[in-house]
Amino acid sequence: MLLRRRAACALILTALAAPAAAAAEGGPLTDARLLQVTLPSTNLDRSIAFYRDTLGLKLLFQVPGAAFFDMAGVRLRIERVKAAPAMGDELYFDDPGLSREAALAARGVKFLGPAETVQRTATSDLKLLEFLDPDGNPLALMGEVRRP
C-alpha cells in the first residue's frame, strides 16, 4: 500500500513538473509574433470611422464584412456580426506616460474613469486608462508613468 502511494505521488509530481519543464524549454509558439486580433462590430462603417478617424489607426484594406487596420505591425480585424457578444477581449495600446489621453479626448473618446494604477515600481506606476469602442469592446491605454 505504501509503495502504491509513493508511486502515485511520484506520477503526480512528474505530471506537475512536465508542463513547467516544457515551458522552460519553449514550445512551438515561443518566438511566434502575434499577427492579428479580431473584434466584433454590429455596424462596420461606424467602427471603421472610429478606429480610423478617432483613434488614427491605418486602414489596410476591407473585404465584405470586415476591415483590417495596422496596429504597429499587428493587424486588427473588425468583423461585422449580427449581435455583439456580452464581452469582447480588451486591447491595450502602449502609451508611455499616458501621453495620448488628451488627443483622444479631443477626438471624442470618453474614458471610463481616471487612470488606474495596476503596478508600482520604485520609480513609476503602470497605469491603465480604459475606454470603449462604439460596440462596447473594451480598449485601454497602458503606460508607465514616472513619479515626481
* Contact criterion met (CB below 8 Å) for 47 and 67: yes
Residue 6 DSSP one-character state = H
- Tens of pLDDT along 89-100? 889 999 999 999
**pLDDT of the chain along its 148 residues, tens only?**
333 333 333 333 344 455 555 556 788 778 888 889 999 999 999 999 999 999 999 999 999 999 999 999 999 999 999 987 776 688 999 999 999 999 999 999 999 999 999 999 999 999 999 999 999 999 999 999 998 8
Q: Is 137 left (phi over 0), alpha (psi -120 to 50) or beta?
A: beta
Pick the CATH number of 33-146 from 3.10.180.10, 3.90.79.10, 3.30.420.40, 3.30.9.10: 3.10.180.10
DSSP string, 80-112: E-SS--S--PPEEEE-GGGTTHHHHHHTT--BS
The candidate with the shortest Cα–Cα distance to 41, out of 28, 50, 54, is 50
CA distance linking residue 77 with residue 74, whole number of Å: 10
Q: Model-level pTM greater than 0.95?
A: no
Handedness of CA 10, 12, 13, 15 (dihedral sign): positive
How many CA atoms are closer than 13 Å to the CA of 30, on its beta-carbon side?
Answer: 7
Whole-angstrom Cα distance, residue 44 to residue 80? 6
pLDDT in tens, 13-40: 344 455 555 556 788 778 888 889 999 9
**Domain limits, the chain:** 33-146
